[in-house]
Amino acid sequence: MKRGIQILAAMLAVVVVSLWFAKGANTGWTKNRVQVKTIDPVTEIEQVEWQDKFLPGVDILGGGLAVAGVLIVGSLFIRKQTKQQEPQHS
Amino acid sequence: MKKSLITLLAVGSVALVASAAPQSFDFKDPKGVNNAVFKLDAPLEAINGSANGVSGTVEFDAVKPAATKGKIVVASKSLTVGNSVMQDHMHGDGWLDVAKHPEISFAVKELKDAKTEGNVTTATAVGTFSLKGVEKEISIPVKLTYLKGKLADRSGGQMKGDLLVIRSTFAIKRADYNIKPGQAEDKVANDIELTLSIAGAAPQK
């Protein structure tokens, strides 16, 4: 049980960090849309449009690592289960 | 000879006066190219967003730019940020309250210190900025670019006329407009930088 929780915590940490890096390592808060800018050829105005895109931020990174940390710390309080020896009958 | 010269001068003067008449430029842009960008840089959070619900009219005379008057309006609900939860809060009654205050506007009274070089006029626009029901007279730097005959290019040949591009970057303080004054300044900066990039059309009659 203890080992299982620790493995789960490690996997969670790896998944959260990998996802954060893969999505561009956004150091701001999580976004669900991003700005797309194009230049209007006639007026030269920079047009701003919004595109739906999930960008995990430091809140998701921190939250995921915090949960992994709590799991690790919690696992330390779980006593290692030892196999109970069957009483010997004489 | 003298008579024909006087006649020529008179016709020329009329033509000059006629060409100097102010034009009315309409800034409503269904394509959403016209936009206002806003930036807030607080210690814990940088917020970047934009609004493209721009409308309004400006009377502009290329010969007398100082006489420019008009009003530019931005629909409050068109303000967009990258996080939809943050956007809902921004639109809500605690912040911009877009339901009660659907428009943000700047009404130009006059242009001061206008300098024109070619088709570009730079000046300081004096007018009333209205946000969340609070009106304040402010002065902002503006750059106006008059694009004669360019409406056809923008409308795919459907309309003929002129364009007026207005650009401005200025800052306001949200506390001045009763937007949670003194609160949450570590996450939502008091200083808001606004950048306006808009083009108005004056179709040929």
Determine, for residues A42 and B198 on separate chains, whether the beta-carbon distance falls below 8 Å: no
Note the pLDDT tens digit of each residue in A15-73: 999 999 999 998 888 999 999 999 999 999 999 999 999 999 999 999 999 999 999 99
Between helix A2-22 and helix A58-76 the angle, nearest 10°, is 170
Note the pLDDT tens digit of each residue in B14-55: 444 445 589 999 999 988 899 999 999 999 889 999 999 999
CA distances from A29 to A16, A37, A62, B83 (A): 15, 21, 11, 8
- On the 0-12 / 13-18 / 19+ scale of CB atoms within 10 A, B70 is buried
- On the 0-12 / 13-18 / 19+ scale of CB atoms within 10 A, B33 is buried
Q: State ipTM.
A: 0.80
Over residues B119-133, the mean pLDDT reads 97
CB of B192 within 8 A of CB of B38? yes
The two structure tokens encoding residue B59: 């009377």
Which A residues, 20 through 49, put their C-beta within 8 Å of a C-beta on chain B?
28-35, 40, 42-49
CA distances from A36 to A48, A58, B50 (A): 6, 22, 11
Evaluated on CA atoms B168, B172, B178, B180, the torsion sign reads positive
User: A55 contacts in B (CB within 8 Å)?
Assistant: 82
Q: Does B86 touch chain A (CB under 8 A)?
A: yes
Note the pLDDT tens digit of each residue in B130-157: 999 999 999 999 999 999 999 999 888 8
